[in-house]
Homo-oligomer: A and B are copies of this chain.
Amino acid sequence: MAVIYDRVALIGLGLIAGSMSLAMRRDGLATEVVGYARSAETRATAREIALVDRVCDTLAEAVKGADLVVLAVPVGAMEAVAAEMAPFLKPGATVSDVGSVKGAVIATVGPHIPEGVNFIPAHPLAGTEHSGPRSGFAELFENRWTILIPSGAKPDEVAKLRALWEGMGANVDEMDADHHDLVLAVTSHTPHLIAYTMVGVADDLRRVTDSEVIKYSAAGFRDFTRIAASDPTMWRDVFLNNKDATLEILGRFTEELFALQRAIRTGDGDHLHAYFTRTRAIRRGIIEAGQDTAAPNFGRVAEKKT
Q: A187-B212, A191-B224, A243-B265 are in contact. List 11 more A-B contacts (CB 8 A).
A: A127-B219, A187-B202, A188-B221, A194-B198, A195-B220, A197-B260, A201-B252, A211-B289, A239-B263, A247-B265, A295-B302
Does the CB pair B228–A213 fall under 8 Å?
A: no
How many copies of the shown chain assemble into the complex?
2
Does the CB pair B265–A218 fall under 8 Å?
A: no
Known interface pairs A196-B275, A243-B264, A291-B222; A254-B252 also in contact (CB < 8 Å): no
Q: Top 8 closest A-B pairs, CB basis?
A: A128-B296, A188-B219, A232-B276, A293-B302, A229-B283, A199-B279, A228-B279, A187-B221
Taken residue by residue from 13 to 56, chain A's Cβ proximity to chain B (1 for < 8 Å, 0 otherwise) reads as 00000000000000000000000000000000000000000000
Taken residue by residue from 144 to 182, chain A's Cβ proximity to chain B (1 for < 8 Å, 0 otherwise) reads as 110100000000000000000000010001000000001
Does the CB pair A129–B186 fall under 8 Å?
A: no
Known interface pairs A198-B191, A221-B188; A145-B253 also in contact (CB < 8 Å): no
Q: Which residues of the partner chain B approach A220 to less than 8 Å between Cβ atoms?
A: 187-189, 191-192, 195, 227
Known interface pairs A190-B198, A232-B276; A282-B218 also in contact (CB < 8 Å): no
Does the CB pair A257–B305 fall under 8 Å?
A: no
Q: Contacting chain B: which of A63-71, A104-112, A135-143? A: A135-143
Number of residues of chain A lying within 8 A (CB) of chain B: 117
Q: Which residues of the partner chain B approach A273 to less than 8 Å between Cβ atoms?
A: 232-233, 236
Which of B261, B301, B303 is within 8 Å of A250, CB to CB? B261
Does the CB pair A276–B198 fall under 8 Å?
A: no
Q: How far is the CA of A281 from the CA of B279 in the complex (A)?
A: 31
